[in-house]
């Protein structure tokens, strides 16, 4: 009495587009987001990893380096995975090669 009857409306006619083009249009923002993510985050990170690996492979005895933990010293012994670093006269530490963050120019360390 107070509630009127509800009737289903017919769907609007299709515009003639195929299902393939509509699905590609729907996926376009996702693909665009992935491309932007690749160029902004993934590619630079891979480049930094490659540069770090090249630097680690090129280490030599006598190089002055800085570690990720903040130690600065001169390399006295190189092994496959480890490096012995002289941080002061008579004080040597052993650490992994991957802990070296940068090679400093020769002559940077005066006291070692």
Q: pLDDT (tens digit, 9 = 90+) per residue, 17-70?
A: 567 777 778 889 999 999 999 999 999 999 999 999 999 999 999 999 999 999
CA dist 105 and 6 (Å) reads 82
pLDDT at 23: 79
pTM: 0.67
- CATH code assigned to 60-104: 2.30.30
Domain spans, the chain: 18-58, 60-104
**Residue 94: how many CB atoms within 10 A of its CB?**
11
Q: List, for residues 57-78, the tens digit of each pLDDT value.
A: 999 999 999 999 999 999 999 9
Query: Which residues, other chains included, contact 58 with Cβ-Cβ below 8 Å and sequence gap of 6+?
Result: 103
- Please tell me the distance from the alpha carbon of residue 14 to that of residue 25, in angstroms, as a whole number: 16
């Amino acid at each position: 009495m107070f509630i009127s009857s509800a009737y289903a409306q017919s769907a609007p006619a299709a515009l003639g587009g195929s299902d393939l083009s509509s699905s590609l249009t729907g996926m376009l923002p996702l693909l665009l987001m992935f491309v932007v993510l690749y160029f902004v985050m993934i590619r630079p990170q891979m480049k930094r990893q490659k540069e770090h690996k090249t630097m680690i492979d090129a280490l030599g005895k006598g190089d002055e380096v800085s570690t990720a933990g903040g130690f600065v010293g001169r390399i006295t012994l190189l092994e496959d995975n480890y490096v012995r670093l002289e941080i002061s006269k008579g004080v040597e530490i052993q650490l992994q090669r991957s802990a070296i963050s940068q090679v400093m120019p020769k002559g940077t360390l005066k006291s070692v």
